[in-house]
Each structure stands twice: as structure tokens, then as C-alpha cells.
Amino acid sequence: MASLDSVMQKLYRAKHHYLELEQELRAYYTAKGTVQLRPAEGGFTIGNVGSVPARFGLIAGDILQCMRSSLDYLVWELVLANGQQPNGQNAFPISLTMCDYKTRLTSESA
């Protein structure tokens, strides 16, 4: 049975970063006063907030990196669960392009 501990730990870490970002955003927008939401294609835009602190992007990057790492760990564990030895090829993304993905699918099924 594969151990999903490493996968779960990365997801918990992503959640920690998410909660940190949520807290930072609430504090920032509360300090700015009333924020205007304007209709936009596919959603809304936020008006009158000025420049947004760089740390928001850094925290969001940490969230995404933890989620991506959890996928790496999951791929690794799936290879082990399949009775194989993982290597550097076993990572996420599985393929860098859609064409490469389709090629790998057809070559592995043959």
C-alpha cells in the first residue's frame, strides 16, 4: 500500500499558505476601505486599490508550488504502488506538451 503522507503534507502546507493569503488579503482590503467591484467579462474587477503588495504573489506562488509538488509525490507513489521503481521521469507534468502526451499514450499502449 502506497503511503500518501508526503502528498497530504504538501496539501496541508498549501492550505496553510492559502489561509495566510486569505488573512493578508482581508487585512489589506479592510485597511483600504470600501473596494469597488466592477463587472467584467467572466467576473469582476476590483477598482481603486492602488498597487498590490508583492507578497501576495509570492504567497500565491507558494500555494501553487506546494500543490504541484503534491502531484509529483502522488505520481511517485503511484509508480511504487504499480510495483515499479520511480525515477526522474516520474514527475508532474507527465508530459510538457499535448502532442508529447498523445505520443506517449499511443506508444505505451502498443
pLDDT digits (tens, 9 = 90+) for 12-61: 999 999 999 989 888 887 776 656 666 777 766 666 666 778 999 999 99
Question: What pLDDT score was predicted for residue 91?
Answer: 81
- Please classify residue 10 by burial: count the beta carbons closer than 10 Å to its beta carbon, then call 0-12 exposed, 13-18 middle and 19+ buried: buried
Q: Please give the backbone phi and psi of residue 54, each rounded to the nearest 5 degrees, phi first.
A: -60, -25
Q: Residue 50 has what pLDDT?
A: 66
* Residues in CB range of 6: below 8 A, 6 or more apart: 70, 73, 76, 77
Whether the model pTM is above 0.75: no
The H or E element that residue 37 is part of is strand 36-40
6/93: higher pLDDT: 6
User: pLDDT higher for 32 or 64?
Assistant: 64
Calpha distance 108→104 (Å, rounded): 6
pLDDT of residue 103: 87
Higher pLDDT, 4 or 26: 4
